[in-house]
Amino acid sequence: MIRFFATMILVLILCSCDKQQPLPNILLVVVDDLGYSDLHCYGNVLVETPHIDQLAAEGIRFTSAYASCTVCSPTRAAILTGKNPAVLNLTDWIPGYQAVRGGPLPHQKLIVPPFNKHLPLEEITIAEMLQPAGYATVSIGKWHLGGEGYLPTDQGFDINIAGNHKGHPPSYYYPYTREGSPDIITPLELTGDSLYLTDRLTNEAIGFIRKHKAVPFFVYLPFYNVHTPLEGRPDLVQKYRNKLEGHMQDTILRNPHFLAMTEAVDDNVGRLISCLEEEGLDDNTLVIFTSDNGGLYLRQDSFIRASWNYPLRNGKGTLYEGGLRIPAIMRWKGKVPAGIESGELIISTDIFPTIMELTGIHYNHEIEGTSILAHLLYNEPVERETLYWHYPHYHLGMPGGVIREGEFKLIEFFESGDLELYNLHEDPGEAVNLVDRYPELAREMQQKLHTWRVRNRAQMPTPNPDYDPDYIPERNY
């Protein structure tokens, strides 16, 4: 009954809005490879992100937000559809490591299963739901869910800017390619000398907002930052070089390019919020800021190439918290209470149903996600008990599956069958494996994970007949 009355109050709020803007706007910003602790408001004392910090101060900052996968393409599909990557059979970045390398390497015991190399057209996206309701829709930036025939304009978006099948630009400077490289993102005309790509994408978003301010809009802005190549704006790179030189000697060194790329995102979030304020749209726009997976953790002695993810373990491409837990901030000025820190479990698939409930649009198909609108507006608990992940691929970690139930998390590795059990409340860094201490709990959680995989027809890897136990790889994939 509480949820019913909360929804009715929301409907009355929407109906009382200005006649020219009866439905709320949605600005969805997804930063590529942004780790849990890469922002100042998440504990990074080196980086300066005042605009994102302010966004958090004016809304809700989640401390237990998760990506639906430890790599990009599956999470992006989950955000747009509300479905788990296993259900979509889109479980790795496109096209995936073994596909790029022509099959399994000799030291890999498993052949990864085939998976969709694009988001299937029969799947229903947020944009496809919003279009018939009169929303202007645009995707600006990284798509990585298919090429020709599977682009944003084939999936409900009116306009696609700078999005194709590629996962990152060869360069962040115009013309956003590199000499001798065949890779390009969707061509953009030059609007400034050596314009930084992140600034350019924000220019496009601001232009779209100002042009479509008379109608409700859905701006999907998946920045290419902070994905490699690590290439910051020179002014910010120099700033962080100076800052790192003067920092304490016992602090782990960080890459000034990565810190500069993070601040560039912050600069542009500030520009977006200023645009909403200038156009009088600030109190009728839900802003969602998040990442597609944990941060890229590559450590060389005392030097961190990109994300650190502290206090979490490991990073992108692994099934530890550093690969799955992400920053997430949501702000709707005047509607969502300000300055809230939430420990509720949320995941990428929650974005779809939350937007649908926000806009009053009904859907009849089955999804994994849970609307968190009542939590945003009224601090009601999120109705969820269990989260599941399925990653039958090699990356910076090993193929496996994960279940989180309450404070406990179980990882099952497919090569060895090994189990790791952690109490994330007591041990967020996953340092102490509790399988031997709680064997019955581990078995129960493993059985739930198996049942979930069968129910959702999750594709499993198969043995590699050419596996060579004596092969020593040149690199650890």
Predicted confidence (pLDDT) at residue 19 exceeds the cutoff of 50: no
**pLDDT at residue 195, rounded to an integer:** 86
Domain boundaries 24-386, CATH class:
alpha beta
Whole-prediction pTM:
0.92
Q: Break the chain into its structural domains and give their ranges.
A: 24-386
- Tens digits of residue pLDDT in 257-316: 999 999 999 999 999 999 999 999 999 999 999 999 999 998 877 688 899 899 999 999
**pLDDT at residue 183, rounded to an integer:** 64
- Tens digits of residue pLDDT in 369-393: 999 999 999 999 998 989 999 999 9
Region class of 82: left (phi > 0), else alpha (psi between -120 and 50), else beta: left
Predicted confidence (pLDDT) at residue 13 exceeds the cutoff of 70: no
**pLDDT at residue 194, rounded to an integer:** 60
Residue among 331, 250, 246, 442 nearest 24 (CA): 331
- Tens digits of residue pLDDT in 209-259: 999 999 999 999 999 999 999 999 999 999 999 998 866 544 567 899 999
The residue-averaged pLDDT of 422-426 equals 98
Give the rounded distance of the alpha carbon of 143 from its chain centre: 12
Mean of all residue pLDDT scores within the chain? 91
